[in-house]
Structure 1
Amino acid sequence: MKSINPATGELIKEYSEMSEGQVKEVVDLNFEAWKGYRETSFAQRSQWMQKAAELLRSRREEYARLITAEMGKRIAESYSEVEKCAWVCEYYAENAEQMLVDELMESDATKSMAVFNPLGPVLAVMPWNFPFWQVFRFAAPALMAGNAGLLKHASNVQGCALAIEEVFRDAGFPENIFRTLVISSSKVEAVIAHPAVKAVTLTGSEYAGSQVASLAGKYLKKSVLELGGSDPFIVLADADLEKAAKVAVGSRMITSGQTCIAAKRFIVEQHVAAPFLEKVKALMEAYEPGDPGKEETSLAPLARPDLVDDIDNQVKKSVEQGAQIISGGSRVEGIGNYYSPTILTNVSRGMPVYMEETFGPVAVVLPVEDEKEAIEVANDSLYGLGASLWTSDLKKGEELARKIEAGAVFVNGLVKSDPRLPFGGIKNSGYGRELSGYGIKEFVNIKTVWIK
């Protein structure tokens, strides 16, 4: 298992995969640690989680450099990612106990209530694009709820995976309560099948989600999936075009476009489509490839060479079917996995850039006649993760937001994850929720207690 710098192609480190026996030993140790950990108080867990937040902040430089080296995002984005992980640790340290307080209910009993017990070890199968954040947004609520954590991270970010294990260990959490499994996808079934593992959560591709969901069903384990997205960015005629264009490009270019909730389909009312496109084009053409480890760099590489192939093929096939390139549309020659910021118009249903998730710096501009057609085009997707809608009429914005098929709709704002808000999708974007009080209750036994 190799960690390779996406900007230079240089080998950072090679990791030996755990054997089946080693995997079983780690899972067994995780389960044994959980037996005692589930009896700890919220106050004790909160103390450890607060310490984890402190360690993240004190080691921000080290961990941000590791993120950038392994998966290639701009160092400024890596700094922000580490900070956000500290935030989610603090959020659940401060709020988990209240979120899981017994809920009294009326019934024929003298006293009846719902109580929230931890399930046990939870396996997280995580992606490389936010190698710290994706893990912490699962781990902070899971551990605060009294569960144990097992991490199967993407093969190219094993350094990040082991660093996260280090954070929880150094924060004082019991030995083995959070462990990293250095394994490939072929060994995931054995972990899910293990009787000690009670649930599985995955963030990743639609294909990976379908495989893990099948295994979770086979072994009767609870699962939560956060999968791909083809997020619409709707701009109505009365929107602030300057601000909308700036946020649209910022959303599309986060992590060089390698995020599920990036704006991907710019759906714009016809008579403002031209000025909006002009503003977007100017902003995207200002991005220039460079060393992601330098603060001034605007365009970072994609994480792997095959991802450049994938996005390039989607663009080429769409152009063959009639799409028009307004800007970009090609690899950046030279060392590293760079792809030029790209804008496509004249895109229609059936083209790869319309139907599929585009995991790279490629934006599609789709002019529509009116807001009714805008909603129809937004919902004409296999995915339903996030959506952004821009209008100066907030009442209209709220009404239309209710009609968009997505797990989250942001009116006049960038789609983002926030520890305080539920996060997740519908349709092929997955099921279940992370973050907020809804997220922490995904992996607890909601138990009825009836007393008379």
Structure 2
Amino acid sequence: MAIQSTNPMTGKVEKKFTELSSAETSSILSSVADAFSTWKLSSFEQRADCLRNLAGLLRERADSFAELMAAEMGKPLKSGRAEVLKSATVCDFYADNGADMLASEPKTVDGMQCYVDYAPMGTVLAVMPWNYPVWQVLRIAVPSLMAGNTMVLKHASNVPQCALALEDIFRDSIFPENVFRSLLIGAGQVEQVLDHDSVIGVCLTGSEGAGRKVAAAAGAKLKKSVMELGGSDAFVVLADADLDKASVIGAESRCSNAGQACIAAKRFIVHSDIYDSFVQKLKGCMESVVMGSPLDEDTVMGPMASHQFRNDLQIQVDACLKVGGELVIGGSIPEGEGAFYPQTIITDVPFDSKAGRDEFFGPVALVFRADSEEQAMEMANDSSFGLGGSVWTRDEEKGLRLARQIEAGLVYLNGRVSSRPPLPFGGVKNSGYGRELSTYGIREFTNVKSVCIG
């Protein structure tokens, strides 16, 4: 895939970049390895100061990052700013809490004084997607850097300007030079990066297919990997749910970022007693979402990230209709400029069909009927994915019990699924393994080392 910025509003290539040569990549990796030799010796206080400085620069540059995201992948300006400001909070969180999370833990074992330490290991490779081109990167980079590691970023090939802007902001901060670098390379060079002695592991956010390839390459080199892959989150609406709230949040989750989010609500599993009522409320809420140019401040949902992604989504929608799905709204590519796809609701897709099980990376809601709470839970867990999910009921005790039964890494009761710095984030099954964020995330790429006094 070419490394270039293609505006999803026009379909025109705005800027092209030359992929780094193998020699150039190796040179950067060596520079980052040299930076690690001193960065690993820095104090937690020094690292926290760097993160606070980075947070300040992110807040200052929120508008410029938002403009880049609008131009490269179609995110509305308002959403782009919110993404950058959220990214600043992850810097604050680890600046405030990272030292405690990585503090040496004293233990007495068989009369010996022992310690469990969390030591930095080297350079972490981040293979990142285009849909949240700032947040996805920094939620990995910030804890890794706070732990004393260095990082190289292989960003998605359609957001190269975002990748370079991230490198620039680290260069302009008080972080030492080469602690964070962006590599403008294609997928073909990922294995070369993993081959480098200084690279101790890889964190990937992306498709299941990409995850399998990169995880296999890392495993062959005995290097750790953390995988955050696709999702087909269940949105379970029980008979006693607050339908007004559930429909509003369901529409927001399905249409945010033009539906291009791993943890968006995708499979709406609704109790038959309130099925028809919920579908109508969801329809009204989704229709009210303002779709338009990402440069318009009133826009809630911009175009999809590319015309090809939109065309692929249409193929999935057509497959649903072919197996018996009923279109409630949307379902076809609109005329005019821009890679827009309308808010779409499809009912009556056979639950066990391939069309009903695939991940939909766009503003398409599939609504399924469940005749009991037990059936709803069975349907929620009958998926190859397990990233997020939610349960909607006025009975908090029951809802909490059912939420704990959902096979996913992050489940909300009566709320929209979202990643937050204090909470571990990641999936099970084909949604990946390992955890980002929280204490678990900052320790993923550390040497958990026992030191004992005999």
State TM-score, norm by structure 1: 0.99
Match of 2:118 in 1: 116
| Paired AA for residue 205 in structure 2 | T
Contact 1:30 1:179 in 2 (8 A): yes
Pick the aligned partner of 2:129 from 119, 124, 127. 127
Structure 1 equivalent of residue 331 of structure 2: 329
The residue that corresponds to 2:30 in the other structure is 28
Percent identity, aligned pairs only, is 49
Shift of 1:355: 1.1
Match of 1:144 in 2: 146
Query: How far apart are residue 110 of structure 1 and its match?
Result: 2.4
Q: Secondary structure at the match of 1:45?
A: helix
Deviation per residue, 1:281-320 (Å, 9 max, x gap): 1111223531111111233111012211211111101111
- Tell me the residue number matched to 2:432: 430
SS in 2 for 1:179: strand
- Match status 1:319 vs 2:328: no
Aligned match of 2:103: 101
Look up the match of 2:86.
Answer: 84
Given candidates 198, 201, 214, the residue that maps to 1:199 is 201
Partner Cα distance (2:406, 2:355) in 1: 20
SS of 1:384's partner is coil
Contact 1:315 1:352 (8 Å CA) reproduced: no
> Runs of 4+ in structure 1 displaced over 4 angstroms?
none
Q: How do 1:288-307 and structure 2 match up within 5 A?
A: 288-307=290-309
TM-score (norm 2): 0.98
Cα deviations across residues 27-69 of structure 1 (Å, max 9, x unaligned)? 0110011001100001011111100000000111111111111
Q: What stretches of structure 1 of length at least 5 have no aligned partner?
A: none
Q: 207-216 or 66-75: which moved more?
A: 66-75
How many pairs are equivalent?
Answer: 452
Offset at 1:351? 3.1
Q: 1:411 aligns with which of 402, 410, 413?
A: 413
Kindly state the Cα deviation for residue 109 of structure 1 after the two structures are TM-superposed: 4.5
> What is the RMSD of the two structures over their aligned residues, measured on CA atoms?
1.0
Which residue number corresponds to residue 258 of structure 2? 256
- Aligned residue identity for 2:221: Y
- Runs (5+) with no aligned partner, structure 2: none
Query: Corresponding residue for 1:451?
Result: 453
Deviation at 1:104, TM superposition (A): 1.9
SS in 2 for 1:338: coil
Give the corresponding residue for 1:11: 13
Distance 1:139 1:298 in 2: 28
Q: How far apart in 1 are the matches of 2:138 and 2:59?
A: 14
**2:164 match:** 162
Structure 1 stretch displaced more, 210-219 or 341-350: 341-350
Map 1:154-233; keep pairs closer than 5 Å.
154-233=156-235
Q: State how far apart, in whole Å, the 1-side matches of 2:102 and 2:298 are.
A: 44
Q: Report deviation, 1:16.
A: 1.1
How big is each residue's C-alpha offset from its partner over 1:245-286, in whole Å with a ceiling of 9 and x where there is no partner?
A: 000000011100000000001111101111110011111122
Alignment of 1:21-60 (within 5 A): 21-60=23-62
